[in-house]
Amino acid sequence: MFRLRLFLCSFVATGLVLVVISSLKNEAFICVNPLFNYSLWNIQSSAQSGRPPHWVAKRNMTHLFDWTWLRNGNYEKYRRIRESGFRIKRPININGRPPSVVNDVKTYLRTHPDQGLIIDDFRQLPNPIPHPLPRAVDLNSTCYQQNIMNCNPWQSCIYNAEVLSLRSPATTHSVTVAVFNAFIDNGSCSPAGVIYNEYATYHFQQWSTKPCHNDPVPFCSTGKIVEYYEELLDSVGVFLAANGHFAPEQLPRALRLLATAPSTAKLLVAKGGTADQFMEILVDLGIVTRDRIIPYDPKKIYAAKIVYRTESWPYLTGDLYGKYVHDRTDMETVHKAIIGDNDLVDEERDVLLVVKRKEGDQRSTSNHDSMVGLIKQILAEHPSVQLKIQVFNAEGHVREQIKVWQKAKVVVAPHGAGLYNVMWCKPGTLIIEFGQSEGWPLPEMYFEMSVHSGHKYWLVKAKGRADKPITVDLRDLKWALNDALMTL
């Protein structure tokens, strides 16, 4: 006699039912195909056959994840939780204690297995050694003149290439975890997306320099509506749908969660702006189904029996604060997911792209016409370089903007959200960014994104405040563009 057990499995064809006979245990397993469990079956199968979720394999991304829980026993623990209807035991001997603040999530969940699971513990891709530095006429002078040596100085302005290889980023792993019976909110001092419950608040990285940045989120009612789920992927973070931050910071998190966590979980994601457009692209690519997407509402608290989150590890403090984003692993994850192996051949990349911010806006180039005239003159002096100038003003759907950036061989741009599009360029693209001499310090983010995407980067001086139009130093630009074109 065979005993029959019903398992939630999944197959490519909807509605498929399969019976597997186990001669070792004298059991028959009836596997049915629910509507949204395909990647769960593939993840489980990968322990024996090496098959990752279908879209990960299709886009040649298997080297970017580890699926640790298949080896550490946590997947079996998760499977038992699902079979029990998500009945999760309360931690023992914890009542009455004040909530903890968790920074080292790996150590905490290893020593508190009743509070969650480690799903993926991936060693990040290494930086090139030596790490590239920005190219400039005189880098030291440029760093001082562009006000990036004082408050929050650029790592690439104060360290040599060998040291920079160890500090940008300073994290070593991308860790995905599951936290039991948890809530998602921003508390009074935290960004959107913080996970907490009555036992602990999880601050995976330092989000700000405010004294309260590492405080626990109070486990009490705030008057917000609480929305409940069984499983929820928490991808939201600072700046939410802001154009220059969603794609390089929240999109990698969403992709890592979708690749490593069960496909039965809903995806909590920022809404509005480019966030909505990127979700449309992920749906079109078959990476996520529309019914799984939950647009984040800051007026709500989200709760789930299992909340999943992924971040860089370890927790960074001091002068390494913030040096965990825009790493090579995240940049490659996004590029592979959106572009796949469809980079254009060099013959199709015939554009020198000039990013133009709206006239009068902050960091718009007041001498734009003179700058374009200079670029034309320099191109004429390099007849072997056949490039046409195209001005980019961020119009249209993200899908169409990606196509424009794929054709670029050289990019010339002021600091701003438009530069996040370097993620769509073929590795080896030449990126020239303009700085600013006054106001808040120029962030290092687009240098980091460029070099961790495999591009070459130049920093050109400009005069003006960060919140006003700037004037590009044309002599500096002439040197940088000539230097860049000589590498083609």
464 and 404 inside one domain: yes
Does 220 have pLDDT greater than 90? no
Query: Which residue, 236, 259, 231, 261, is CA-closest to 249?
Result: 236
441 and 357 inside one domain: yes
Which of 292, 318, 338 represents a domain boundary (last residue)? 338
Query: How far is 383 from 379, CA to CA, in rounded Å?
Result: 7
| Least trusted range by pLDDT, from 300-304, 312-316, 323-327, 380-384 | 323-327
Does 3 have pLDDT greater than 80? no
Higher pLDDT, 100 or 339: 339
284 and 183 inside one domain: yes
Average pLDDT over residues 322-349: 95
Predicted model pTM: 0.88
Q: Give the per-residue pLDDT at 97.
A: 67
Domain total for the chain? Answer: 2
- Segment holding 21, helix H or strand E: strand 17-22
Which of 313, 338, 363 represents a domain boundary (last residue)? 338
473 and 376 inside one domain: yes
Strands 351-355 and 266-269: unpaired
Does 407 have pLDDT greater than 90? yes
**pLDDT tens, residue by residue, 257-287:** 999 999 999 999 999 989 999 999 999 999 9
Do the domain assignments include residue 53? Answer: no
Do the domain assignments include residue 85? Answer: no
Do the domain assignments include residue 320? Answer: yes
Full DSSP string of 254-277 = HHHHHHHS-TTSEEEE--SHHHHH
144 and 280 inside one domain: no
Q: Which residue has the tokens 């300073």?
A: 170
Average pLDDT over residues 244-265: 95
* Average predicted confidence (pLDDT) for the chain: 87
254 and 321 inside one domain: yes
Q: Give the per-residue pLDDT at 343.
A: 96
Query: How far is 55 from 39, CA to CA, in rounded Å?
Result: 9
Q: Give the per-residue pLDDT at 140.
A: 94
Do the domain assignments include residue 280? Answer: yes
Does 218 have pLDDT greater than 90? no
Does 52 have pLDDT greater than 90? no
Query: How far is 374 from 480, CA to CA, in rounded Å?
Result: 12
Average pLDDT over residues 82-93: 81
Q: Which two tokens stand for residue 356?
A: 């133009």
283 and 358 inside one domain: no
Do the domain assignments include residue 413? Answer: yes
Which of 302, 322, 338 represents a domain boundary (last residue)? 338
CB 302 within 8 A of CB 148: no
CB 204 within 8 A of CB 311: yes
Range of the domain at 178: 100-125+170-338
Banded pLDDT at 95 (limits 50, 70, 90) = low
Q: Which residue has the tokens 């003003």?
A: 393
Average pLDDT over residues 14-34: 32
Q: Give the per-residue pLDDT at 410.
A: 98
410 and 443 inside one domain: yes
Do the domain assignments include residue 186? Answer: yes
Higher pLDDT, 374 or 27: 374
Residues 6+ positions from 223 with CB-CB distance below 8 Å: none
Q: What percent of the chain has pLDDT over 90?
A: 73
Bridge-partner residues for 259, per DSSP?
none
**pLDDT tens, residue by residue, 180-217:** 999 999 877 878 899 999 899 999 998 888 888 898 88
Banded pLDDT at 38 (limits 50, 70, 90) = very low
287 and 406 inside one domain: no
CB atoms near residue 74 (< 10 Å): 19
Do the domain assignments include residue 47? Answer: no
Banded pLDDT at 94 (limits 50, 70, 90) = low
105 and 243 inside one domain: yes
Query: Which residue, 165, 178, 125, is CA-closest to 330?
Result: 125
Does 297 have pLDDT greater than 70? yes
Q: Give the per-residue pLDDT at 32.
A: 32
Q: Which two tokens stand for residue 398?
A: 């993200």
| Least trusted range by pLDDT, from 3-12, 160-169, 397-406 | 3-12
Q: What percent of the chain has pLDDT over 70?
A: 87
Do the domain assignments include residue 399? Answer: yes
330 and 223 inside one domain: yes
Q: Give the per-residue pLDDT at 427.
A: 97
**pLDDT tens, residue by residue, 59-76:** 999 999 999 999 999 999
Banded pLDDT at 99 (limits 50, 70, 90) = confident
Torsion of CA 479, 485, 487, 488, to 10 degrees: 180
326 and 470 inside one domain: no
